[in-house]
Amino acid sequence: MGTLVPGEIWSSRDGKSWERVAEFSPGKEKGYVGSLTVFNGAMYAGVTTGLGSGTVYRTRDGRTWEPIGLLSPHTIEALAVFKNNLYAGTLIPPRASIYRASISQ
């Protein structure tokens, strides 16, 4: 589960007990995890920190997150996988964009 301000990801095995496994903008007023998706044993997170600085992060173990794509000055509102490509939907008024990247192991 991703959160708003400061932008965290939490994990639970039973839905009752939760543990924070990532914090992307500690101590900042702005920041959020807008989207999560899973593909081929990895989880991807669309994270926005500051005003419109969107980054895609990846983890293979649920604890160590690495940045794999910067879409600044866009916020990342949606992630989806289709035919081995990762799609990121962004929003910065007055236009929105969709980005595509091939993902590999």
What are the pLDDT digits (tens) for 67-103? Answer: 888 887 777 888 988 888 888 888 766 667 777 777 7
Give 27's DSSP letter: T
Arithmetic mean of pLDDT, 55-65: 91
**What DSSP string describes 34-102?**
EEEEEETTEEEEEEEETTTEEEEEEESSSS--EEEEE-TT-EEEEEEEETTEEEEEEEETTEEEEEEEE
Q: What is the pLDDT of residue 61?
A: 93
Q: What is the mean pLDDT of residues 19-26?
A: 80
Q: How many CB atoms lie within 10 A of CB 24?
A: 22
Whether the predicted pLDDT of 105 surpasses 60: no
According to the model, what pLDDT value does residue 23 have? 84
Span 17-21, mean pLDDT?
Answer: 89
pTM here? 0.81
Q: Could you tell me the residue ranges of all domains in the chain?
A: 8-102
